[in-house]
Structure 1
Amino acid sequence: MRILLVEDDSRIAKPLAETLSDCQYQVDVAEDGEVGWNYLEILNYDVIILDVMLPKLNGIQLCQRLRQANIQTPVLMLTARDSSQDKVLGLDAGADDYVVKPFDLAELTARIRALLRRGNNTFPPVLEWGDLRLNPSNYEVFYGKQLLSLTPKEYQLLELFLRKPQRVLSRRQILDQLWSYEEPPGEETVKVHLKDLRKKLRNAGISSDFIETVYGIGYRLKPL
């Protein structure tokens, strides 16, 4: 899952981005509304966290621009102003939820999960592929009764394939989904992480070609 955080205060943006990364989200951070809009023209996001008071293009204006462009990605607005009028402005601009600073990180991440469920209601709460089960609510992966120990990137890779079981994903598409737009690694990094993930799946008793290589194109889940 990819999240765009548009927040100009680094004292808020940095710890929030770190917390979301620890929750297995891929996070891009924009420091003003115009940069945020530029990100949205390039990449697709599952949730947008949007501060109201932003340089160049404020959060209300950015949210209005999103909805005018028919971008229906769930928007969670952040503000330091706790008044009914401010909340009404944000919700009327097209925001889906509204959180007042200072906020509790646990509550904020719970609200994000709720928005993800609302925006992706076709996704089952537990992703399954044969005897393999991935639970996005607690980040646990089981094969049968065996709990798999995966790194954050291995988990994100597996979740990506399980959410797009019929898709062939190129290395570039995987990079765009799972790594920061500002500091993407080389495509060889995808190959290394896939090799490690396949090894752990194989050690758990899963077929070595559970994730197939489609030569010259990319990778996909082996059809059941």
Structure 2
Amino acid sequence: MKVLMVEDNKSVSEMMAMFFQKEDWDVTYAYDGEEAVDKFKKEADDWDIITLDLNLPKKDGMQVAKEIREISESVPIIMLTARDSDSEQVLGFEMGADDYVTKPFSPITLIARMKAVSRRSNNGNGSAGADAEDGFDVVTDNFKMNSGTREAYLNDQLIPDLTPKEFDLLKAMAKKPRQVFTREKLLQEVWDYEYYGDERTVDAHVKKLRSKIEKAGPQVIQTVWGVGYKFDDSEAAK
């Protein structure tokens, strides 16, 4: 993979360099926000994944993520931060992050997350199945989605501005209407890694996903208290 690691702490970059070398990845380092945006722009179509620290000089990680997303909607971004709050995670996901790793972290864990996010991103960029009706490979009572165009519709209204992870999360549940998914199961299905106690990652994505669904129609993501979430559009008709 071609990786852009944005990290102002050079000791962290040097530590990760040993692990990246073992994976035989092509890694470029940026040590402040302005440098990160400049390096991304020069090869915008070539990057496979970005790791992005939030606490950066010159331009913070949130602003960097926003500017990168204005250029590319699909390049995976993993945010690295010492901050550990639900509000920070929600804001990070709103800016377009695909995953969120809290410092201090295990290098092995970060490598696993990077592989998982990249794998899910690559799998999600394929076209819909040849037998999908009109290109829609998930169709329920009042909902349909097309994995080729990465679009989802509720009562024929487009659900706007879905990020790659929000689309994947919605698809995972919509493929099995009314089935209850635990947070651990959604981490495995959507983020493709085992449960590390990061159920807030799921909750933050569901919160943002719900706000976008409500722009198109009734809420179809329901909370099953004490268990997790389910998709149910059976009563979502106009």
Q: Shorter-normalised TM-score: what interval?
A: 0.5 to 0.7
Task: Name the SS for the 2:123 alignment partner.
Answer: coil
The aligned counterpart of 1:83 is 85
The aligned counterpart of 1:58 is 60
Unaligned runs of 5+ in 1: 124-224
Q: Distance in 1 between the 2:61 and 2:103 partners?
A: 15
Q: TM-score, normalised by structure 2?
A: 0.50
Q: Which runs of structure 2 are paired with 1:93-108 in the superposition (5 Å)? A: 93-108=95-110
Q: Distance in 2 between the 1:109 and 1:70 partners?
A: 22
What's the offset of the Cα at 1:71? 4.1
Q: Distance in 1 between the 2:39 and 2:73 partners?
A: 13
Q: Distance in 1 between the 2:82 and 2:124 partners?
A: 34
From 114, 117, 129, the counterpart of 2:116 = 114
What's the offset of the Cα at 1:73? 0.4
Spell out structure 1 runs of 4+ moving beyond 6 A.
none
The aligned counterpart of 1:166 is none
The aligned counterpart of 2:19 is 19
CA RMSD of aligned residues (A): 1.7
Cα contact 1:46–1:119 (8 A) shared by 2: no
What's the offset of the Cα at 1:119? 1.9
Cα contact 1:17–1:29 (8 A) shared by 2: no
The aligned counterpart of 1:40 is 40
Q: Distance in 2 between the 1:48 and 1:105 partners?
A: 15
Q: TM-score, normalised by structure 1?
A: 0.53
% identical aligned pairs: 40
Amino acid at match of 2:14: K
1:126-182 deviation line (CA, Å, top 9, x unaligned): xxxxxxxxxxxxxxxxxxxxxxxxxxxxxxxxxxxxxxxxxxxxxxxxxxxxxxxxx
Cα–Cα, structure 1 residues 53 and 98, in superposed 2: closer, same or farther, change >3 Å? Answer: same
Unaligned runs of 5+ in 2: 126-238
